[in-house]
Amino acid sequence: MAQIEFSKGVPEETIPNIRLTRSPDGETGRAYFYFEAASVLSAERKDEITGMYLIDNEGEIITREVKGKFVNGKISALEAIVTFNSPAEWDRFMRFMESYSQEHGLEFLGNS
């Protein structure tokens, strides 16, 4: 089980676009998540967004760096950033992404 949540216990149904960056020495990096029309934003939902939680069988990766994208005064998307401060954090994130990708039918698209 690998899932993303913005409110504890409420799985996000929208599959994000994800962009990864990593420093040349491999010590640090970031994952940028973009959720167009995230299910947590639907009018019926009243869940409080408390962060982004990446949950799998190893535990959780948590970020509080979550922002709304507004169009004409209405929230239309969510953006989140996960920062890695060591190769071990990067490796842990990649294990999560492997599980999440397999369960949700995602594939890696490299630079062309």
Tell me how crowded residue 23 is: count the other CB atoms within 10 A of its CB: 11
Q: Give pLDDT, residue 110.
A: 58
Residue percentage of the chain with pLDDT more than 70: 96
Average pLDDT over residues 28-39: 95
Q: Residue 20: which CATH number?
A: 2.40.30.220
Average pLDDT over residues 52-73: 95
Q: Give the residue numbers spanning the domain of 8.
A: 1-67
* Domain assignment of residue 18, yes or no: yes
* Domain assignment of residue 79, yes or no: no
Q: Give pLDDT, residue 61.
A: 97
Strand spans (E) along the chain: 3-7, 10-11, 17-22, 29-36, 52-56, 59-63, 66-71, 74-84
* Domain assignment of residue 10, yes or no: yes
Token readout for 34 is: 């973009």
pLDDT band per the 50, 70, 90 thresholds, residue 112? very low
Number of domains in the chain: 1
* Domain assignment of residue 96, yes or no: no
* Domain assignment of residue 78, yes or no: no
**58-68 confidence digits (pLDDT tens):** 999 999 999 99
Backbone angles phi, psi at 36, to 5 degrees: -75, 125
